[in-house]
A and B are shown apart, each in its own frame.
Chain A
Amino acid sequence: MKSGNRILFRLGAIAVIIAIAVCMAVIGRGHTIYFDSKSGEYNGQAYTAPYKTEVYVKDERVAKLYDGERGMASTMGQTFHYSLEITPEKGGDSYTKDVTFKVPYNLDGVVINIAAMEAGLPEEAYISEFVPVPSAAELEDEEVVTDEFAGLTEGDEAEAG
């Protein structure tokens, strides 16, 4: 193989690998979707949570929510399909709704308020970013042990003593 061809071949191989890496980063991006069933108010317009909402992802129920409750589901990629089975009133009839949601790439967690969505409010009213609060365990200082020679030197003895 000529050296020019060889360089081209190598560059091509690197480009293909980078393309695969980019594809993996896009299709493999994981998100956590939180479903809220909470009554509230947006720009003076009040909305009420339905009595019961069941959330299905790929025909599997991931959440059964009553007023004020939250459920969650994990998804991969930027398109999230889910179904809602909503019962507005206790003992009343329920209806089903299929929803497709484009998840913003940069968000790890997205909160969807089903009550606000059902009230016909704009997207910014019912979609918000989930900002995790580090747990007490996560905030606790963690000792990292990497020293192969721990306890073998004079300094360690002094520290221990």
Chain B
Amino acid sequence: MTEKKGLGALIRQNSVSLMFVVICIICIPISGLSPSYLINEIVTRMGRNAFLILSLLIPIMAGMGLNFGMTLGAMAGEIGLILVSDWQIVGIPGMVLAMIISVPISVLFGLFCGKILNMAKGREMITSYIISYFMNGAYQLVVLYLMGSIIPIKHSSIKLPRGYGVRNTVSLLSMRQKLDNLVAIRFWGIKIPVVTFIIIFLMCLVIVWFRKTKLGQDMRAVGQDMAVARDSGINVERTRIISIVISTVLAGIGMIIYLQNMGNIATYSSHSQIGMFCIAALLVGGASVEKASIGNVFLGIALFHTMFIVAPKAGAVITGDSMIGEYFRVFVSYAVITIALIMYETNKRRAKSAVGAELEKAQLEEESR
């Protein structure tokens, strides 16, 4: 009976991941894509997205849920890249300089976001989601009006013809895949961007190490119970702000790694969906609002992006229209987040009612004595 219950709970806990495994198993043969092409694409997307998704782990550790505020870091990364492109700093030095520029902007955004999230404890996800929309307005003010008029932008390939504002697309041809191709090995026709993976691996090590530090332990304590953490002398508000600042800074750096792989910036839209897709990928990997691991990141990227690659092809084969597959993958991204949130609330209520039932039982026992 216990075994049966355990298996059921296991399936329930990993239902999102299992659903994706099933989708992939069905879609891969239908899509007709060769295994080497598929693996190549997944490896590329792993290098492109892993750093960004890793940036989500620290706020989850601090009990702040899935940080949609990572969009703010993505904006900072984009600002860094736009400036560096205009200054014609190319290649790896261009990327490093963009990262250095993005860090103080990310810190400011993170501080702002963290302070607001401290005012909305328990509603961090929806608050960070709305902050990302609000800050998108501030980003547009900078990029659309201040760049070119107050912040010097020299090149007509970046500046709008009216004399101020940045074009819809900024080319990053001068740094396209420079990090990925710095040391790239081919293995059975699959290109492995070694340096990108080394950076991701180091980031994983930093996260593992960070969990064991005093600050990491404080974050875990805050994540488990804020009242208990406060009673034990932890500055809860400060710890939460630090977790958001770290996440935002890492998201800025992650966005630069992401965009160097893509080779261009969609100035007004690159950042807006990145939070959604990273969070969806993490949830697909089996993470929840309150618990996520490095393993969830990689499993999530593999499953979510396999679906992303095969869905349009499978859609085209099944219905004759590849757009169906496109709709499907966007629909699934949102659906995954919805399912994860419902499961989180259901589990929370179930745990609450279990505690309630135990209390009631204890009370009845006491009364019968």
Contact = CB atoms under 8 A, between A and B. Distances in A.
Given A21-B97, A25-B97, A28-B97, A144 B144 contact: yes
Interface in A113-161: 132, 134, 138-142, 144-146, 148
Interface string A23-41: 1110111110000000000
Contacts of A144: 144, 160, 165, 167-168, 268
B87 interface: yes
Contacts of B96: 20, 24, 28
A17 interface: yes
Interface residues of A, number: 25
Nearest to B137: A146
A77 to B, nearest CB: 9
Contact of B91 (A20, A23, A76, A146): A76
Contacts of B298: none
Given A142-B168, A148-B133, A76 B90 contact: yes
Contact of B93 (A28, A139, A141): A28
A128 to B, nearest CB: 18
B253 to A, nearest CB: 13
B100 A24 contact: yes
B89 A24 contact: yes
B88 A108 contact: yes
Contacts of B186: none
B144 A146 contact: yes
Nearest to A141: B161
B5 interface: no
Contacts of B157: 138
B127 interface: no
B40 interface: no
Contacts of B315: none
A140 B174 contact: no
A28 B168 contact: no
B217 interface: no
Contacts of B91: 28, 30, 76
A76 B268 contact: no
B144 A28 contact: no
Contacts of A24: 89, 93-94, 96-97, 100
A135 B153 CA distance: 18
Nearest to A75: B90
Contacts of B88: 29-31, 108
B156 A142 contact: no
A21 B167 contact: no
B92 interface: yes
For the complex of A and B, 7 pairs with smallest distance between CB atoms: A28-B93, A30-B90, A24-B93, A24-B97, A28-B89, A134-B156, A21-B100
15 contacts: A21-B97, A27-B93, A28-B89, A29-B88, A30-B94, A30-B174, A74-B174, A76-B91, A76-B93, A138-B156, A138-B157, A144-B144, A144-B165, A146-B268, A148-B133
